[in-house]
């Protein structure tokens, strides 16, 4: 369980000039150097609040542990007279010690792609859009930068904490799309935790083991899901089922097994649908379900999407429109806020969670410029 966090009162910003490219790269590197596993984001949150204040934002840490900075007003609530554009990234990472180093244009380290790189882009872009130095935000519009906790956990605790607090006019999720692409959808998710215990029996006897029972349950479940896994279907349009872990134990009296299965769910297939299919195959085993998320698809014709597409086209870039097979905090806030939303950030998402995680510095800086260009036109259509 995450430690309790006490919200800090917002501190007034320090007048500052917009962040330079060199400062933005240094910010990202320091963010990557600070470990921030899910549930252990406190040190990074404190650092980000300090940095955002130095860049002219009003910043604080909320009671969930999120680091929040705004270009005006109170970071912890919406003002009905103000149009909020929320830039929602996350501070936490999965485990794995990737040595922080720079090799030419490439910066290596855990979180460079997922998703400290996108969050650093948000902070830099907010600095450059912030008056009086910036000229991109008209009166009545503000940016809200959120570094959320526990996105890499099934809890999404940080995103859930901010849902009732704001009523944004648009939201950008900080996830790697590549600087020349936007992500318009994420699949849903369900985790199934299987448990079975039986009295020990001789392996030469007629009854199978608890491991046999678990494997049989899994095979029945995959068969039951077959209508949602049509041959030749695109990954985004099909259920993806993975047996993530199996662990057997025995104390000489009872044999036991615990297993976890994960399901990535396309639009139209709900977590409850899959939970019902799993439970129907469970026989005498116990099932527990967590991580319920419904797939979310964005409107490619929203003012937000058009702002990015037009900015890229103006830069002679052919924008790519992506749908991801994973999940993000978009699955949490998208259905609740019902505002224009998409995900954006530098980096190759195939490097997420890998020992080779790295981002191109040139792409990182290009993403800041691209986001600032989009921000200059987003508000015109909202």
Active site residues: 92, 151
The stretches of the chain forming alpha helices (DSSP H) are 21-33, 42-54, 116-129, 157-162, 210-224, 271-280, 303-314, 330-337, 361-378
Q: How far apart are CA 287 and CA 282, in angstroms?
A: 7
Cβ atoms of 373 and 129 within 8 Å: the answer is: no
Q: How far apart are CA 268 and CA 280, in angstroms?
A: 20
Total length of the chain: 382
Helix axes 42-54, 21-33, angle to 10 degrees: 160
263 DSSP 8-state letter: E
Neighbouring-strand partners of residue 287: 194
Neighbouring-strand partners of residue 11: 59
Q: How far apart are CA 289 and CA 193, in angstroms?
A: 6
Tokens 């600070």 found at: 34
Cβ atoms of 330 and 324 within 8 Å: the answer is: no
227 DSSP 8-state letter: G
Strand 67-70 with 141-148, pairing = antiparallel
Residue 56, sorted as left (phi over 0), alpha (psi -120 to 50) or beta, turns out to be: left
What SS3 state is found at 68? strand
Residue 212, sorted as left (phi over 0), alpha (psi -120 to 50) or beta, turns out to be: alpha
Cβ atoms of 90 and 329 within 8 Å: the answer is: yes
19 phi, psi to nearest 5 deg: -65, 140
């Amino acid at each position: 369980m995450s430690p309790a966090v006490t919200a800090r009162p917002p501190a007034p910003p320090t007048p500052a000039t917009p962040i330079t490219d060199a400062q933005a790269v240094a910010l990202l590197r320091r963010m990557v150097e600070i470990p921030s596993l899910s549930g252990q984001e406190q040190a990074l949150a404190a650092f980000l609040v300090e940095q955002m204040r130095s860049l002219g934002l009003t910043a604080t840490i909320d009671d969930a542990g999120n680091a929040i900075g705004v270009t005006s007003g109170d970071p912890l609530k919406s003002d009905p007279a103000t149009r909020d554009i929320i830039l929602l990234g996350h501070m936490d990472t999965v485990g794995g010690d990737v040595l922080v180093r720079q090799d030419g244009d490439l910066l290596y380290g855990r979180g460079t792609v997922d998703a400290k790189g996108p969050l650093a882009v948000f902070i830099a872009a907010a600095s450059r859009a912030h008056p009086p130095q910036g000229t991109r935000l008209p009166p009545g519009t503000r940016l809200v930068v959120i570094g959320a906790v526990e996105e890499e956990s099934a809890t999404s605790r940080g995103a859930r904490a901010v849902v009732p607090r704001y009523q944004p006019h648009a939201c950008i999720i900080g996830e790697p799309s590549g600087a020349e692409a936007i992500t318009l959808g994420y699949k849903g998710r369900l985790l199934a935790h299987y448990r079975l215990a039986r009295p020990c029996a001789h392996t030469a006897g007629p009854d199978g083991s608890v491991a046999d029972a678990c494997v049989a349950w899994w095979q029945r479940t995959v068969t039951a899901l077959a209508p949602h896994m049509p041959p030749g279907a695109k990954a985004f349009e099909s259920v993806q089922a993975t047996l993530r872990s199996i662990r057997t134990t025995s104390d000489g009296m009872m044999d036991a097994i615990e297993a976890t299965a994960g399901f990535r769910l396309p639009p139209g297939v709900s977590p409850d649908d899959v939970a019902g299919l799993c439970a129907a195959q469970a026989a005498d085993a116990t099932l527990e379900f967590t991580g319920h998320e419904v797939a979310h698809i964005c409107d490619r014709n929203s003012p937000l999407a058009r702002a990015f597409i037009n900015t890229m086209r103006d830069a002679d870039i052919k924008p790519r429109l992506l749908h991801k097979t994973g999940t993000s905090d978009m699955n949490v806030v998208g259905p609740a806020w019902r505002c224009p939303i998409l995900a954006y950030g530098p980096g190759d998402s195939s490097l997420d969670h890998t020992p080779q995680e790295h981002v191109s510095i040139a792409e990182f800086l290009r993403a800041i410029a691209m986001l600032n260009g989009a921000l200059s036109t987003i508000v015109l259509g909202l």
